[in-house]
Amino acid sequence: MDEEIASAAARQGQWKHQYKALSLLAFQSFGVVYGDLSTSPLYVFKSAMSGNLHNYEDETTIFGLLSLIFWTLTLVPLLKYVIIVLAADDNGEGGTFALYSLLCRHAKLSLLPNQQAADEELSTYYQPGTDRAAVSSPFKRFLEKHKKLRTCLLLFVLFGACMVIGDGVLTPTISVLSALSGLQDPGTGGLGNGWVVFIACVVLVGLFALQHRGTHRVAFMFAPIVVLWLLSIGIIGLYNIIHWNPRICLALSPHYIVKFFKTTGKDGWIALGGVLLAVTGTEAMFADLGHFTAASIRLAFVGVIYPCLVLQYMGQAAYLSKNMSDVHESFYLSIPRTVFWPMFVLASLAAIVGSQAIISATFSIVKQCLSLGCFPRVKVVHTSRWIYGQIYIPEINWILMVLCLAVTIGFRDVTVIGNAYGLACITVMFITTWLMALIIIFVWQKNILLALLFLLFFGSIEGAYLSSSFIKVPQGGWTSIAFAFVFMFIMYVWHYGTRRKYLFDLQNKVSMKWILTLGPSLGIMRVPGIGLIYTELVTGVPAIFSHFVTNLPAFHQVLVFVCVKSVPVPYVAAEERYLIGRIGPRQYRMYRCIVRYGYKDVQKDDENFENHLVMSIAKFIQMEAEESASSGSYESSNEGRMAVIHTTDAAGTGLIMRDSNDSAAGTSLTRSSKSETLQSLQSIYEQESGGISRRRVRFQIEQEEQINPQVRDELSDLLEAKEAGVAYIIGHSYVKARKNSNLFKSFAINYAYSFLRKNCRGPSVTLHIPHISLIEVGMIYYV
């Protein structure tokens, strides 16, 4: 009996802990995910009534608009996203790229060039419960067979990503400008439009200047503001319902939508572009899923967001039904005068929070494009020591700020900006609907009829809003399309140039037959040290190697061909990150190391990379020797075989690792071949660069362990090379189009791609290669 009571108490304690953690995450999500959605009441009715709908200023029109807003909030954010789409996470990650990644893994739709069968063995590659032996459907085989369809799918996803980046420009602009429009209220001695625009610009500059502090700090600062804002607008909405028109509750019936369209006709259809603004920011629920959990986002939406927004829209509609002339500034005029200034301050702060959600999503989207090889190299800063995946990209941050200021100063009108904003948001939602239909078929492995039902139901709703938004392209809607096409051009050119360069490497790699004819010395002088040759190839030897030794006939005694590549999973576990293999016979001392990252992984400066690499190769040598011993011949090496190696310490490597200042290190079997002058220069360089001094360690072979003499010799050579120093060899490539190329290809490669390469971060920076050890090999690629 006592055991049962103790067990029940333990379960209750565990439940309380889980509930507390869930509540905390839900609270934080207000500051990051829901800021944009919660500020929509500032401008929805104003935008919806801005066109010819002002000719229908009567109670039926207001009731119809409210009914449209209510059912749009219910069907799109609540039914589609909260109930269905949030279930389609990719190992806890959300967004357009998460859906695309899932599709690439469950159907062969990926266009990433250096994929391997070993990638499918990653623990996060397949969804739990996926039947890998299931017979593929004819539709799946059709998509996998046609490369043009796979390219169209990638372009479709990239277009959605570009629209999200466009959101990153338009959301801060419309949120801040609409919140500050309360300063124009004549009842408070209103300011002129010029002053409002100036103050908006100052607020926007401050917002983007705050981004480097990171999402987790912003979430704790902003979450209380959004919660207070939502509770305030919910209470004011309830007050307006009771005070102005309790009959507004009848408008929740879809009957009023039918009456609305019968009365307004085409003008009502055009007004859908304004109604659409009630659900802008919905995509952030899915895009920012990786920062929280699906349960916490659902709890926040159902418990606070949805009821407060419905009450606010009902209250605003109740006020307008009795004060039709106030539609131009319905939100602020519906607020009781006694709480106007507190609500104005709250609105301004909430607008800043609303911008945060999409800015965070924009950083995440750009990082994912970068991983797919579809965006120029930029600096990615990991902003949280505790929360993985929260990032800041300086270049994108300042570009977004400049574009926000340009839109604010250029348009100065919330309605015009709203037309562009609505088009961008509904396009992203529409793309998500199509991708979800494919997810239902390929990932969830449901009947294709269920996918068609999902597509028809939500596609028809969003299609109506999309068609209405396209009507407003001349009235500002062109802005989001222009942003999308500019970013799309940059992404496509970068992807095209990078892929052509990879194909050149693939077609011109050095044959193993040529290397074997050179003998173990490769026909050149083998000097002390380890040479890390960076390449995008996962098999074979790159042309850069032959180019180097042809011009300088000397190379390091140990060669490691390093490939840092992305795989279509959000994260790669540390124990699965490294693949180690051998190139050629054992006496050649040539190895391959493939470092795998997911599209949400951040490649941080790993100060212990060299030590991990040495330990991984040593462990691979030991593992290979054990397998060879079981086969009876050490000389037989399984060339081309790659093994997943994980080493956080020297266990299983046959090595002992000590700090270089350890007195026992004096008994090391190897000595550094660097002269005192070189060591002094390296010390001076590290001091001047202001970098964190790297941990200096020494390795030695365990004396007690029984090791095969040939294995001991190979390990000894590896340690001697490590003590002599590590050099990083990377290609400094010049990519040019062939002379017989067409005009489009010549322009794309010689001008656009060349311009992007010259003005983005160099590969040595993104790979965190220490400059003192860097060797760049110039090479021209004619693609």
| Alpha helices in 192-293, H assignment, sequence order | 193-209, 215-244, 255-264, 266-270, 272-275, 283-287
Q: Which residues lie below 8 Å from residue 244, measured CB to CB, with a gap of 6+?
A: 315, 318, 319, 321, 322, 323
Cα gap 558→587, rounded to integer Å? 10
| Residue tagged 């479709």 (tokens) | 156
How many Å is the Cα radius of gyration of the chain?
A: 30
How confident is the model at residue 216, as a pLDDT?
Answer: 57
Tell me the residue type at 31: G
Classified as helix, coil or strand, 779 is: strand
How confident is the model at residue 606, as a pLDDT?
Answer: 59
How confident is the model at residue 605, as a pLDDT?
Answer: 58
Cα gap 782→375, rounded to integer Å? 22
Classified as helix, coil or strand, 446 is: coil
- In angstroms, the Cα distances linking 125 to 342, 400, 603 are 50, 34, 20
How confident is the model at residue 304, as a pLDDT?
Answer: 94
CA angle in degrees (0–180, nearest 5) for 550-551-554: 75
Take residue 239 and report the two structure tokens written for it. 């007050």
Cα gap 246→251, rounded to integer Å? 10
Cα gap 524→552, rounded to integer Å? 9
How confident is the model at residue 439, as a pLDDT?
Answer: 93
Q: How many residues does the chain have?
A: 783
| Residue tagged 């220490």 (tokens) | 770
How confident is the model at residue 9, as a pLDDT?
Answer: 59
- In angstroms, the Cα distances linking 324 to 187, 269, 286, 295, 321 are 18, 20, 37, 41, 6
Cα gap 544→509, rounded to integer Å? 9
Instruction: Annotate 204-231 with DSSP letters as a single string.
Output: HHHHHHTGGG-HHHHHHHHHHHHHHHHH
Q: List strand residue ranges (DSSP E) for 372-514, in order.
A: 381-382, 391-392
State the 10-residue block means of pLDDT for the chain, 783 residues long: 60 72 86 85 88 80 94 95 92 85 84 76 76 69 83 89 89 86 66 84 88 64 88 95 93 93 90 90 84 88 95 95 85 90 88 78 85 86 65 89 93 86 92 94 90 96 92 88 92 90 87 75 80 88 82 84 88 87 87 88 71 86 78 54 72 64 42 55 58 60 71 87 88 87 90 90 81 84 85
Cα gap 431→440, rounded to integer Å? 14
Hey, what's the torsion of the CAs at 253, 255, 257, 260, to 10 degrees?
-130
Burial classification of residue 716, based on how many CB atoms lie within 10 Å of its CB (0-12 exposed, 13-18 middle, 19 or more buried): middle
